[in-house]
């Protein structure tokens, strides 16, 4: 965009049009200069539909362990199920164009597997009205099943926890009904 000679305001508008993400001019400036943004990393993220993105959405919507800290824009999953953590790390790596999965580390203190990623763009994307994410979840059969796998993995985590937030579960059920009670025919297909 810089090579096209766009101003910050034009870049801001183009980014919003292309990705639905609104970034401050300051963040764009940091981004262009390659300086780490104080409000979070600007790992590459394009909201192209894919089973991996659908999985990340499924985790973000259904599991409260995704923490997005105000200052770090961190996306963190902390769970007892190692396979769940591994799959999330793989999907997050793909979604953020890393070419390799994020590290899954064991926390002795918490007794949990932890995956930590950081991206202001993905954070903004996941923080939009969750109803709007339906378009990505319903993209194709593979995207739907990836969402479901994340949903059930997260659900397994609830069962393993003593304190269960009813609000969270209600939200999950609501998402589930919206996504799968009224499915329209899918015209797309992820490879």
Q: Does the footprint of Zn ion cover residue 175 (CB under 5 A)?
A: no
Identify whether the C-beta of residue 117 lies closer than 8 Å to the C-beta of residue 102.
yes
- Least distance to Zn ion, CB of residue 187, Å: 10
- Least distance to Zn ion, CB of residue 123, Å: 22
Q: Which is nearer to Zn ion, 30 or 125 (CB)?
A: 125
- Least distance to Zn ion, CB of residue 189, Å: 7
Q: How far is CA 143 from the centre of its chain?
A: 13
Q: Give residue for tokens 């937030």.
A: 165
Site for Zn ion in 105-164 (CB under 5 A): 139-140, 143
Q: Which is nearer to Zn ion, 40 or 51 (CB)?
A: 51
Q: How far apart are CA 58 and CA 56, in angstroms?
A: 5
Give the residue from 67, 69, 71 showing the smallest Cα distance to 79: 67
Any idea what DSSP says for residue 101? Answer: P
Site for Zn ion in 6-45 (CB under 5 A): none
- Least distance to Zn ion, CB of residue 147, Å: 10
Q: Which is nearer to Zn ion, 23 or 56 (CB)?
A: 56
Listed in sequence order, the DSSP H helices in 43-165 are: 51-62, 82-95, 120-126, 134-137, 141-160
Any idea what DSSP says for residue 67? Answer: B
Tell which one of 1, 6, 148, 190 touches Zn ion (CB under 5 A). 190
Stretch that binds Zn ion, among 32-40, 48-56, 57-65, 115-123 (CB under 5 A): 48-56
What are the residues facing 77 on neighbouring strands?
115
* Binding interface with Zn ion (CB under 5 A): 49, 139-140, 143, 190
């Amino acid at each position: 965009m810089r090579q096209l000679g766009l101003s910050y305001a034009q870049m801001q508008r183009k980014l919003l049009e292309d990705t639905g993400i609104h970034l401050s001019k300051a963040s764009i400036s940091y981004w262009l200069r390659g300086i780490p943004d104080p409000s979070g990393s600007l790992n590459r993220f394009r909201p192209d539909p894919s089973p991996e993105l659908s999985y990340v959405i499924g985790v973000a919507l259904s599991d409260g362990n995704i923490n997005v800290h105000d200052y770090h824009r961190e996306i963190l999953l902390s769970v007892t199920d190692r396979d769940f953590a591994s799959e999330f790390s793989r999907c997050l790596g793909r979604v953020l164009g890393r070419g390799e999965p994020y590290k899954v580390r064991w926390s002795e203190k918490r007794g949990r597997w932890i995956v930590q990623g950081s991206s202001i763009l993905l954070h903004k994307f996941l923080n939009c009205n969750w109803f709007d994410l339906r378009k990505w979840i319903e993209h194709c059969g593979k995207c739907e099943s990836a969402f479901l796998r994340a949903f059930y993995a997260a659900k397994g985590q609830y069962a393993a926890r003593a304190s269960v937030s009813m609000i969270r579960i209600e939200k999950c059920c609501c998402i589930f009904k919206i996504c799968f009670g009224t499915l329209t025919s899918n015209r797309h297909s992820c490879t």
